[in-house]
Amino acid sequence: MSYYDDASLVLIPSGVKAAKVYSQKPTNGTGDFTFARASTATRTNASGAIESVASNVPRLDYMTATGTLATCPMFEVEQQRTNLVFPSDVATTQTRTVTATAHTLTFYGTGSVTLSGVATGTLTGTGANDRVALTFTPTAGSLVLTVSGTVTNWQLEAGSFSSTLIETTTATVTRLLDSVSISGASALIGQTEGTIFLDVDFRVVSSGGIRVFFNLEGSVANQFTGIAVGTTNNGNNIQYAGTIYNLTQGRHKIVCTYNSATNVSKLFVDGAQRGASTFAAFASTIDRISILGRVNPFNSFQVDRQQFGGCNQFALWKTALSDAECIQLSTL
């Protein structure tokens, strides 16, 4: 079989514009995703330079989770984060108020930043183009960051790992979450059987609540009808019908099949089956898709529960692929 020819939807990130991520298939536009991010953000371009990206424009990012430049771009999805230090371009010694939660400090350059006050430690740079990181948990109060030498594009954010640079000038700045979804796409989704494929650059979520890789969901009138695969409350474990598979930081290929004729759904990750579950037929038409986030079933159907990650490829088939095909498709 040809995976491409048989797929009902194929998205390999290459073309974007404001509020839109284009799919390669179908070509009539019905498979193009709606994108939203109500703030500016940054991305790393093909040359490794950091660029500003306007509000509601998707980010085609070349920086992988492991800090290497990719040859092909992925579209970036992140949760909301705030850079607590300013200005971000060139670091200066300052005192910031922090809470007693994990924080991550990052910067480029050959200088150092020494922590004192409610936390201690020193982060030393390794080069103008290298981003170094230090994660620490302060007590609540005033954190003093003493800068020495050349420290550029620095960021202090609440969280146990770093996110993309949030540019600041005179105050703290929040980058809002990215959301990627389609509604009214029932013709592209197998309603009785199907296959979902995601090739993701996974940034690792730690104790951030349930975070979703992909979700097929019903209409507003038919909530809680659908299928979703995500990570658990406790970090980077992918959970599926009780079977847990630990995802490491980096690239993974995830395939999920469902079939109401056999009443089985299966999960494949990185070239092996990792779980199986009974699957009942959808109670109503499934018509909405979200990538690296969840269609919130409780409210106005905005997208939430975002992962931190990059989408290299996403595809749907309206048939349940065979186990051998899923193993081949999910092999890294």
Partner 1 sequence: MTSYRKYAWPSEGQFITDMLSAGFATMEEGEVTFVDCYVHQIGIVGSDPRWAVDIIWVAPSDFQQYVVWPVPNSAVHWFGGWEGQYQIDYCEANPTLCNEAE
Binding-site ranges for partner 1 (CB under 8 A): 38-41, 54-55, 80, 82, 97, 166-167, 170-177, 209-210, 233, 296, 298-300, 302, 304-305
Instruction: Give the residue with the Cβ less far from partner 1, 61 or 304.
Output: 304
CB of 147 to partner 1, least distance (A): 20
As a whole number of angstroms, the distance between CA 233 and CA 212 comes to: 11
Instruction: Give the residue with the Cβ less far from partner 1, 24 or 172.
Output: 172
As a whole number of angstroms, the distance between CA 236 and CA 255 comes to: 17
Instruction: Give the residue with the Cβ less far from partner 1, 259 or 307.
Output: 307
Instruction: Give the residue with the Cβ less far from partner 1, 1 or 244.
Output: 244
CB of 4 to partner 1, least distance (A): 36
Instruction: Give the residue with the Cβ less far from partner 1, 80 or 331.
Output: 80
As a whole number of angstroms, the distance between CA 106 and CA 87 comes to: 14
Instruction: Give the residue with the Cβ less far from partner 1, 76 or 304.
Output: 304
Residue 4's H or E segment, with its range, is helix 3-6
What residues contact 149, with CB distance under 8 A and at least 6 apart?
Answer: 109, 110, 111, 112, 125
179 within 8 A of 36, measured Cβ to Cβ: yes
Instruction: Give the residue with the Cβ less far from partner 1, 14 or 207.
Output: 207
Tokens of 215: 């979700």
CB of 304 to partner 1, least distance (A): 5
Identify the DSSP state of 324.
H
CB of 219 to partner 1, least distance (A): 18
Rg, Å, the chain Cα set: 21
The 3-state DSSP class for residue 145 equals: strand
Cα 64 to the center of its chain, rounded Å: 12
Identify the DSSP state of 90.
B
Instruction: Give the residue with the Cβ less far from partner 1, 24 or 82.
Output: 82
How many other CB atoms are there within 10 angstroms of residue 315's CB atom? 24
Strands 243-246 and 250-259: unpaired
CB of 328 to partner 1, least distance (A): 36
As a whole number of angstroms, the distance between CA 47 and CA 264 comes to: 45
Q: Is 11 exposed, middle or buried (0-12, 13-18, 19+ CB in 10 A)?
A: buried
